[in-house]
Amino acid sequence: MPILIVVNNPDRWPMSIRGVEVVAARRYLTDPAFHRMPNTRVFNLCRSYSYQSLGYYVSLLAEARDQKPEPDTMTIQDMRSAALVRVITEDLEEIIQKTLRTVRPPTFELSIYFGRTLARRDEVLGRRIFGRFRCPLLRAKFVCRRNRWWLQSIRPIPASDVPESHHEAVVAAAEHYFAQRYQAVRTTRSPRYDLAILHDPAEEAPPSNPTALRKFMRAAQRLGMGTELITRDDLGRLGEFDALFIRTTTYVNHYTYRFARRAVAEGMAVIDDPLSIARCTNKVYLAELLKLHRVTIPRTVIVQRDNACNVIDELGLPLVLKQPDSSFSQGVVKVDTPETFRDRIDALLEKSEAVIAQAYMPSAYDWRVGVLDGEPLYACKYFMARNHWQIMKWVPGQETRYGKTETLPIAEAPPQVVRAAVRAAKLVGEGLYGVDLKLIDGKAYVIEVNDNPNIDSNHEDRILGDALYERVIQSLVARIEHIRQGAVKRAEHTQAGAL
């Protein structure tokens, strides 16, 4: 992949970095040689990114040319947002306080060069900030108030403001950054595409266990893809890949959603896409969506403070309460008495203006149908945990217990269950979903549609085996090629218009 460093005046560029071409901003904007260089990485080190400046137009036109600018225009706008800086302070609260605890107040400035810092103490904090603001040369300013450090501002560093004593560190950081590619799995030939699999090694109940992750990587290798397992610290590296596959539990107010949004902005193929995350992780939205399209669901009430007193009359007892972003049976409670209902609903409404209440429908197991690209992928029975009403018994401070899983060929699953699952998934999108259902008296009830469904070795893959993993990877390949074809057509249309 060609690499360009774009600066105002190359004659004043003070550093020599192997394997890159240093280009004047005005030449980059006007020289036709740079118009048709898709998949080029453009590192914009202009003096200013202010609106309609040279630096602004370098990133803007790089995006129009289907190149990969750093920073892109979204990052340029984000660096100006005081509100976003405040959000990042909250998101990085623990690591900010831990990193700067030995720094003398009242202020501290952190220079971040291509994701690296000068001091080892600051490495993790620097990577996290660089992941949120992917700009080659960054300066973060912190202030200490009442014994607590706050991120005050994020600003790009003009190359002319980099101290000469830091030049060697900048060059080393840049060369390391440019050289980073997939490491975990390599094919004997140069891969067609590169896939990033986002996971959290410390997650207690991830959607894919380590063996399943290895099977995904081997499937990608067989299909000619290079793969790498990445973590939350690698947001700044997404531009190195063609596709992102998220294999850690997703939430909207969470780094997984930011990864998905960034990947879409980069023009990457993504599972789970941000729209699917937003839709599936809010059960209020799902209940309304399924009701609107007359999908059969348990009797359901969207509870707010003004109608909470009527819920028991509508649904009876026992009933189930769900916080909107509950997952893996957490945030879901069964209530058997009016007193328990009042206690639980008050606690849930403190966190959210709306909560889901559903009629309790006891069963020995739930059905889970995996749906990919609008087609059924696998069918499982998830049995309830022993002496519990859910498939997972989760108690803080205790070992989590699960019910057994039984996987069946799609053809042997009840057809009404498969049909209902596919219909519900299509209402959400065309990604990878796990649809939970109950079969009561021959009728399929959709409980919820999950993005990021479980695919664990020796569970969901018992019928299809390695073919299950290949089906998912093939879907990502098809998405990459669809995106590439769209980019080619846009380029051809732009070129025809110019002629």
Q: Which helix (H) or strand (E) holds 246?
A: strand 243-246
Sequence-ordered list of residues with C-beta below 8 angstroms from that of 381, at least 6 positions apart, any chain: 365, 366, 367, 368, 405, 406, 407, 408
Q: What is the pLDDT of residue 180?
A: 67
What are the mean pLDDT values of the chain's consecutive 10-residue runs (499 residues total)? Answer: 90 89 94 83 92 90 86 86 78 91 94 96 93 91 93 90 94 88 46 94 94 97 94 85 96 91 91 95 93 96 94 96 78 93 94 93 97 98 92 76 94 98 97 98 97 96 97 97 78 53
Q: DSSP labels for 355-399? A: EEEEE----SEEEEEEEETTEEEEEEEEEPPTTSSSSEE--TTS-
DSSP 130: H
Do β-strands 355-359 and 432-440 pair in parallel, antiparallel, or remain unpaired? unpaired
User: Scanning the structure block, which residue is given the tokens 């060929």?
Assistant: 409
The CATH topology of domain 79-179 is D-amino Acid Aminotransferase; Chain A, domain 1 (3.30.470)
Whole-angstrom Cα distance, residue 319 to residue 146?
A: 47
Cis before 156 (ω within 30) = no
Q: Is the dihedral of CA 225, 228, 229, 232 positive or negative?
A: negative
Whole-angstrom Cα distance, residue 302 to residue 284?
A: 7
Ranges for all domains in the chain classified under CATH 3.30.1490.20? 299-360
CATH architecture for residues 299-360: 2-Layer Sandwich (3.30)
Residue type at position 258: R
Q: What is the pLDDT of residue 190?
A: 63
Q: What is the pLDDT of residue 377?
A: 98
Q: Which helix (H) or strand (E) holds 436?
A: strand 432-440
Ranges for all domains in the chain classified under CATH 3.30.470? 79-179
**Farthest-apart Cα atoms in the chain, separation:** 79
Sequence-ordered list of residues with C-beta below 8 angstroms from that of 152, at least 6 positions apart, any chain: 85, 141, 142, 143
Q: What is the pLDDT of residue 184?
A: 41
Do β-strands 243-246 and 193-198 pair in parallel, antiparallel, or remain unpaired? parallel
Q: What is the pLDDT of residue 253?
A: 83
Q: Residue 224: phi, psi to the nearest 5?
A: 80, 25
Ranges for all domains in the chain classified under CATH 3.40.50.2300? 180-272+470-499
**CA angle, residues 199, 429, 438, in degrees to nearest 5:** 85
C-beta of residue 1 within 8 angstroms of C-beta of residue 39: yes
* Order of all β-strands in the sheet with 225-230: 225-230, 193-198, 243-246, 269-271
Residues 23-33: b if buried by 16+ CB within 10 A, e if exposed:
bbbeebbeeee
For 3-75, CATH gives 3.40.250
Name which CATH class applies to 180-272+470-499. Answer: alpha beta
Nearest to 116 by CA among 176, 46, 45: 176
Nearest to 112 by CA among 79, 155, 71, 152: 155
Q: Residue 477: phi, psi to the nearest 5?
A: -60, -45
